[in-house]
Structure 1
Amino acid sequence: MNDESIEQELPNDDILTEILEAELPEAHNTAETPETSAISAEEELEQLKDAHLRLMAEYENYRKRTLKEKVDLIQNGGEKVIVGLLPVIDDFQRALDTIENANDLAAIQEGVNLIYQKFLAFLQQNGVKAIDAIGQAFNADLYEAVATLPAPAEEQRDTVIDSVQTGYTLNDKVIRHAKVVVAN
């Protein structure tokens, strides 16, 4: 074979380009020029800016919504407690109406005691408990000593012997310390 026959057997560059373009059309289309690269970068930047603005708007809406919910909770948070107290208030009103015409002191005392028990039950349902004090070892986390008296016996030393005012806890957190007298 001579050089001319080899050149005739090999296709020319135009034919090779057409064959490659036909077989790999996506490779030809995705080749980026500096201009298309800059345009796609600008488009991506615009998309990122848009996504950022949307995210900021969503965050602002979330912040406003939670602030409104917080205000609503503060304004209406005690509604459950107030609604629960209304039957106790109604019972007190009936007791006051009955006292005006009643002559039986024992019946009045029993009625007031029933209202008191109903009120205590309501408080317990809402997590409020009285702090048991008398006979307990003095604990500064629960009690406030308002007076001390000499201990009648050595084993009663640093023990609560009287309660001046009942203390309360709300869900195991002290909301009012019991005011007590301690044996010293």
Structure 2
Amino acid sequence: MRIVAEKEKDILEETVPVEEVKETDGAEEMPEESAEKIPEENGEEKAPDGEKDSEGEAPAREKEKKGFRKKSREDKKTDALNEKIGELEDKVKRQLAEFENFRNRTEKEKSAMFEIGAKSVIEKMLPVVDNFERGLSGLSGEEKEAPFASGMQMVYKQLLTELDSLGVKPIEAVGKEFDPNLHNAVMQVESEEYGSGTVAQEMMKGYTYRDSVVRHSMVAVVS
């Protein structure tokens, strides 16, 4: 009986380590289960981080859109201002051109009016010149030496000098080809000295003022 009891005791002692090993093995398996659970828990926690990133990007995009819209509005305002500036510049240029044309027209009209007025005065002075020429040409040799004739000669020369300074020039006639723009033929004559169509005699001297005829020369033309 003692022998049987000792064997049972030995068997019990042998079984104890086995149970401890099993308990130890079970303890070692627990970390594996927890390790498997950790990734799952980490995965579940990462999802909110992704949502937070999306939520953070939305305001940035909205801000970027607002900046783009603001820039577009500023560009439109700039384009409108540039267009307005261009229109004003064109308007100023047109007004300056119109003013320049007006000034040129005014100067031409002013010059034309002055020329008309000057020609009118000159026309009234030419008969005075004619009378001086007739009076001096009718003097004899002795009379030309008289003080009175000398005074007339001085006044006549002074008058011609002043007319010349104003642009009044006598028209050349005798010996020149007849020009209807300068000469007024009042008669035809025969001449051995001049050819046909040439002015042989001048009855009244003609004058020009600034290249325009004030009075045509009255001439006789060779037939």
- TM-score (ref. length: structure 1): 0.53
Q: What's 1:150 paired with?
A: 190
Q: What's 2:210 paired with?
A: 171
Aligned pairs, number: 138
Which of 156, 162, 167 is residue 201 of structure 2 equivalent to? 162
Instruction: Name whichever structure is richer in helix by fraction.
Output: 2
Q: Please tell me whether residue 111 in structure 1 is matched to residue 154 in structure 2.
A: no
Q: State the SS of the aligned residue for 1:179.
A: strand
Q: How big is each residue's C-alpha offset from its partner over 1:93-130, in whole Å with a ceiling of 9 and x where there is no partner?
A: xxxxxxxxxxx972111112111111111111111100
Distance 1:30 1:19, change over 3 A: closer
Taking the aligned partners of 1:137 and 1:31, their CA distance within structure 2 comes to 81
Percentage of identical aligned residues = 20
Could you list the runs of 5+ residues in structure 1 that have no partner in the other structure?
Answer: 89-103
Higher relative contact order (CA 8 A, sep 6+): 1
Q: State the SS of the aligned residue for 1:180.
A: strand
Taking the aligned partners of 2:212 and 2:172, their CA distance within structure 1 comes to 14
Q: How big is each residue's C-alpha offset from its partner over 1:55-95, in whole Å with a ceiling of 9 and x where there is no partner?
A: 7xx79xx69x96xx77x958x948x96xxx9xx9xxxxxxx
Q: State the SS of the aligned residue for 1:158.
A: coil
Is the radius of gyration larger for structure 1 or structure 2? 2
Q: How big is each residue's C-alpha offset from its partner over 1:36-66, in whole Å with a ceiling of 9 and x where there is no partner?
A: x8xx7xx97xx79xx6xx97xx79xx69x96
Taking the aligned partners of 1:6 and 1:135, their CA distance within structure 2 comes to 119
Q: State the SS of the aligned residue for 1:157.
A: coil
**1:18, CA displacement in angstroms?**
6.4
Letter in 2 for 1:117: K
Q: Please tell me whether residue 14 in structure 1 is matched to residue 14 in structure 2.
A: no
Distance 1:137 1:173, change over 3 A: same
Name the Cα RMSD after superposition: 4.7
Q: What's 1:101 paired with?
A: none
Residue pairs, 1:1-184, within 5 angstroms:
4=47, 7-8=50-51, 10-11=53-54, 12-17=56-61, 20=64, 25=67, 27-32=68-73, 73=110, 77=114, 106-152=146-192, 155-184=194-223
Taking the aligned partners of 1:175 and 1:20, their CA distance within structure 2 comes to 84
Letter in 2 for 1:168: Y
